[in-house]
Structure 1
């Protein structure tokens, strides 16, 4: 038997082959009789595209029909959760933003909310900081859904939508760069507030984007919704009803496409979402077509939320007043890029010994968090993103674990794929919108 260099399989002297799934590859293969049963076992992935990154699927096929499907994860393991135990609480933002790299601002916000809950300062976070968090998360939701639309279209043969989706996403990344200094992995949302305020030119860019985006959505629908190949590849494909979703812990657009309007922004609001006007889109069919419809509708709702956030953006601080917690940097954009403002450097280096001590201590050691544990869940583009944070009273997390929707939702893939065609595995897997950076954190 030959094995792929990509896989972690190895053959022993007894002829048995062990895999990352627990040493049962030989049992999987021996369970098929290629002469009489005409069944074969194949690897799909890990590769781009189709399996959305380093996801490996083991498929048992009878002709083109999938009889059994197994998901194998872990190829992109980064150890982010473990690394958090060796950095202070503020530095954790720089790590968690890199998990689900298509929704970094959600990773950061969930982490910040958990730390703030441990500190007991949830109500002290300023109104402007919460408004900007909502603004940034909803822009990030739009950009994430655009990547889903672009990549899913490409995988199902609609190549043009790949260009359109990434074209509009580029406008959002430009906005993020203007605000945070980075296109991705921002570390912008910090415990207690934000790294810095939103500049005026970013507001102009956001309003221009709000004017442009509804027309682009209409173009997407004109391109896809009436296209017979698109409807054939999506309608009635990879069906998962509400009962199946709840049994497997599936959340987000996949659950809502099965008809259940479960959205943590409504059911367990945070960051002031209860004060915004927006709907929770649903679809009754629970198939790939329904997930497509729900995500397009969610983009429209996110645009409404962004506009509301802009209208209520009042002047004020973006960090809590407690200087023992507040991030000490006073960032500004200068001739050498982004860094501490010259006024702040002059103060801590030549005018105030207390400011210098505070700056040095908070940057190197961080603040102490009272002992305890909390769980905070927010609604990411892929579903419930939860943070279980544990503190032992020190300056570093004792343990941080993420309930990551990409990881949880992937266990629904066998239920969606088995009994269908091998081509529908691609459509069903794409409709889950898994991001392996979050899955293998």
Structure 2
């Protein structure tokens, strides 16, 4: 046995031999979010004041995505300016093309052929699903759910194939043009889109089963980011941000363009105006887009896909080239 005289000097001092540290008041934490941040995509910078996980104050610094598009297209023709609009919102490509083409057609007092209008609506709703997939899955990824991201991006890849088959490009298609569309849909594409629509509706059910009633998902979205209907109007909100606050406003219903007045669909709205309501609106809008796409496929008429006016749409190469016999 070791003598006690030797072990006594190794006895640790009591834990309370010093005065406890003075309590300090912890103030809010200020952090810089973006523009170079994995969740920001380089589009803006936010200086945020946090109290725990709650954002108490936010100072946005916008303009980082400014590209001088209006100045650039001053020196372009109407057709040459089209590709710039693909890049304004890189997840709503053909919707931007459609808006620009409609504006040019209104200025020139022309109207696209009926088949071209149905094709526009078909690919406009396909693009809307592309947009909502990106919004829902990246939101889920930031919260901590990785599976919906991988499931839905597999579906996005299939939709990019439809883009490529109809235009030759996966994202920046430059397909919807003033006076119609660039070219007609290839054989078999409508059948493939129809089959994809049937399968995708099941995929939406699977993702909603994973997220909608998930306890963690609801804890991080319910009563978070609440925007009242009055504030949404005063701030000039539009789209899902406006409908999520309970205001039933959709340009496809209130000011229908192309053939939206010939299709049936519902407008989902929220009740609280929080992140959870906006998520539910996006999920239901994907289902309504599938409903519109089914109607487009069933009602697709025959006919021309661009106006017969060489001042608006370039003529075919065979028509521009003189006969070889001469």
- Could you tell me the TM-score, scaled by structure 2's length? 0.88
- 1:157 pairs with 2:144: yes
How far the C-alpha of 1:60 sits from its partner, in A, is 2.4
How far the C-alpha of 1:119 sits from its partner, in A, is 0.5
Taking the aligned partners of 1:243 and 1:153, their CA distance within structure 2 comes to: 28
Taking the aligned partners of 2:100 and 2:174, their CA distance within structure 1 comes to: 11
| Map of 1:236 onto structure 2 | 223
Taking the aligned partners of 1:224 and 1:37, their CA distance within structure 2 comes to: 35
- 1:90 pairs with 2:90: no
| Map of 1:167 onto structure 2 | 154
Taking the aligned partners of 1:180 and 1:187, their CA distance within structure 2 comes to: 7
| Map of 1:351 onto structure 2 | 323
The correspondence for 2:90, drawn from 101, 111, 117, is: 101
How far the C-alpha of 1:61 sits from its partner, in A, is 3.3
| Map of 2:280 onto structure 1 | 293
The correspondence for 1:187, drawn from 164, 174, 180, is: 174
Taking the aligned partners of 1:258 and 1:39, their CA distance within structure 2 comes to: 29
Conservation of the 8 A alpha-carbon contact between 1:257 and 1:286: yes
Conservation of the 8 A alpha-carbon contact between 2:42 and 2:64: no
Unmatched tracts of structure 2, length 5 or more: 1-23
Conservation of the 8 A alpha-carbon contact between 1:193 and 1:318: yes
SS at match of 2:321: helix
CA shift digits 1:129-184 (9 cap, x unpaired): 10000001000101111111111110010111110121111111111111111111
Taking the aligned partners of 2:29 and 2:268, their CA distance within structure 1 comes to: 41
SS at match of 1:186: coil
How far the C-alpha of 1:329 sits from its partner, in A, is 4.0
Taking the aligned partners of 1:40 and 1:98, their CA distance within structure 2 comes to: 36
SS at match of 1:226: coil
Unmatched tracts of structure 1, length 5 or more: 1-34, 331-343, 353-441
Taking the aligned partners of 1:232 and 1:266, their CA distance within structure 2 comes to: 34
Structure 1 stretch displaced more, 278-287 or 54-63: 54-63
Taking the aligned partners of 2:248 and 2:157, their CA distance within structure 1 comes to: 30
Conservation of the 8 A alpha-carbon contact between 1:55 and 1:71: yes
The correspondence for 1:55, drawn from 19, 44, 63, is: 44
CA shift digits 1:185-221 (9 cap, x unpaired): 1111111111111112211210111110111011001
Structure 1 stretch displaced more, 49-58 or 248-257: 49-58
| Map of 2:257 onto structure 1 | 270
SS at match of 2:87: coil
Taking the aligned partners of 1:84 and 1:36, their CA distance within structure 2 comes to: 56
- Could you tell me the TM-score, scaled by structure 1's length? 0.66
Taking the aligned partners of 1:219 and 1:323, their CA distance within structure 2 comes to: 49
- 1:135 pairs with 2:107: no
How far the C-alpha of 1:128 sits from its partner, in A, is 0.2
| Map of 1:284 onto structure 2 | 271
| Map of 1:72 onto structure 2 | 61
Mapping 1:258-407, distance limit 5 Å? 258-329=245-316, 344=318, 347-351=319-323
Conservation of the 8 A alpha-carbon contact between 1:48 and 1:54: no
Taking the aligned partners of 2:133 and 2:53, their CA distance within structure 1 comes to: 31
Conservation of the 8 A alpha-carbon contact between 1:126 and 1:319: yes
- 1:219 pairs with 2:206: yes
| Root mean square deviation of aligned Cα | 1.8
CA shift digits 1:103-130 (9 cap, x unpaired): 01011111111111110113xx210010
Taking the aligned partners of 1:132 and 1:175, their CA distance within structure 2 comes to: 12
SS at match of 1:204: helix
How far the C-alpha of 1:62 sits from its partner, in A, is 4.2
Conservation of the 8 A alpha-carbon contact between 1:149 and 1:165: no
Higher relative contact order (CA 8 A, sep 6+): 1
How far the C-alpha of 1:282 sits from its partner, in A, is 1.0
Taking the aligned partners of 1:115 and 1:272, their CA distance within structure 2 comes to: 17
Q: Number of aligned pairs?
A: 302
Taking the aligned partners of 1:313 and 1:64, their CA distance within structure 2 comes to: 51
CA shift digits 1:8-41 (9 cap, x unpaired): xxxxxxxxxxxxxxxxxxxxxxxxxxx8772443
